[in-house]
Structure 1
Amino acid sequence: MVKIERAQERHIPDIIEIWKEFMDFHKERDSFFTRSKEGHVKFEEYLKEVMTSERAQVLVALEEKKMIAYLLASIAEHPPVFERSTYGSINDLAVKREHRRQEIGSRLLTQVQEWFSQHGVKRIEVRVATENEVAVSFWRKHGFKEYLKRMYREL
């Protein structure tokens, strides 16, 4: 049985391992996602910071006490020129390869949506790698739609 709970400091090593898999999966689609040598160290520092923030939520999915997924989200702000500048940002949703397509991501999303609602958030945004068709499909299935296209050019 899969249990969803708020991440604790003891979960950090397992979150980092899933993050590495998540980044490597994306690197296969776009070299932009290549991890730096110290990427995992910087990510650990970032995790410790957000795990203590009242404006962030890190959730983990555990199966028989083994971590199989995590979700990292925060309450963010667009510039104050917009009527509704506050929004929920889903930074990462990563499920171990062998546990995908088992509704674990959906359960994590449901729980973070409840947390956002409790904090008065009315809009949730997520950035999705264009080449990750599985993720694009997942987010569309859950009612997310495009409103911007982020573009780049190498110099």
Structure 2
Amino acid sequence: MLGRRMVTVRELRHDDDIDTVLTLCKDFFAEYEGHHKEFFETDNLSDADISGRFLESLESDSSATIVAFMDDTIVGYASVAVREQPRFYKIKKIGAISALMVAKEHRRKGIATRLLDETRTFFRRSGVECYTLYTATANQATIKLYERNGLTPLHNSFIGEVDV
């Protein structure tokens, strides 16, 4: 409960408002394009491309979309997936959070932390002990959020360009 408004966090269902998740996803892409032009190519991305990804997660045992509701409105989401690693890895099964977004007007209310908690519940149920997520190095507010929630930096990723 935030103030008098109830926040509920759970997996996306068929009868949920996919259009709101789609809008949040577009906001996520736009925000990350601002951090680095190479993050996403959204000029030719259709709504069907994006919503198809969320609909696929409804039918999958290895992926899910976690949604946060304030009252009856979706105000945030996290996309999660589990994959098997090759035999030579010490960690055989790993989770990944590929997106975590809270609507700007609902940030700093604990919703992202609630989403992270629910992603860990999904991973625990899936037999996953470790998970990864990525964010832009310029996204310091999000990095601090992740650190407050017990995540630690794993490695640095670099991007280079090649003349084609």
Q: TM-score, normalised by structure 2?
A: 0.87
> What pairs with 1:130-145 in structure 2 (closer than 5 Å)?
130-145=137-152
One-letter amino acid matched to 1:29: H
1:18 and 2:53 matched:
no
User: Deviations for 1:48-74, whole angstroms, at most 9, x for unmatched residues?
Assistant: 112210111211111121110011101
Mark the runs of 5 or more structure 1 residues left unpaired by the alignment: none
Match of residue 154 from structure 2: 147
Match of residue 60 from structure 2: 53
Mark the runs of 5 or more structure 2 residues left unpaired by the alignment: 1-5
The answer to whether the Cα contact below 8 Å between 1:20 and 1:40 also exists between their aligned partners in 2 is no
The answer to whether the Cα contact below 8 Å between 1:72 and 1:91 also exists between their aligned partners in 2 is yes
1:98 and 2:98 matched:
no
Q: CA deviation at 1:39?
A: 4.5
| Inter-partner Cα distance in structure 2 for 1:143 and 1:39 | 35
> What pairs with 1:1-155 in structure 2 (closer than 5 Å)?
1-9=6-14, 10-32=16-38, 33-155=40-162
| Inter-partner Cα distance in structure 1 for 2:17 and 2:158 | 35
Deviates more, 1:56-65 or 1:90-99: 56-65
| Inter-partner Cα distance in structure 1 for 2:43 and 2:58 | 22
How large is the RMSD of aligned CA atoms in angstroms? 1.5
Identity %: 21
| Inter-partner Cα distance in structure 2 for 1:122 and 1:75 | 11
User: Deviations for 1:53-96, whole angstroms, at most 9, x for unmatched residues?
Assistant: 01112111111211100111011233321122211111111000
The answer to whether the Cα contact below 8 Å between 1:61 and 1:67 also exists between their aligned partners in 2 is yes
Q: CA deviation at 1:126?
A: 0.8
The answer to whether the Cα contact below 8 Å between 2:93 and 2:127 also exists between their aligned partners in 1 is no
Q: TM-score, normalised by structure 1?
A: 0.91
The answer to whether the Cα contact below 8 Å between 2:10 and 2:118 also exists between their aligned partners in 1 is no
Query: 1:28 aligns to what SS in structure 2?
Result: helix
The answer to whether the Cα contact below 8 Å between 2:22 and 2:51 also exists between their aligned partners in 1 is yes
- Larger relative helix fraction: 1
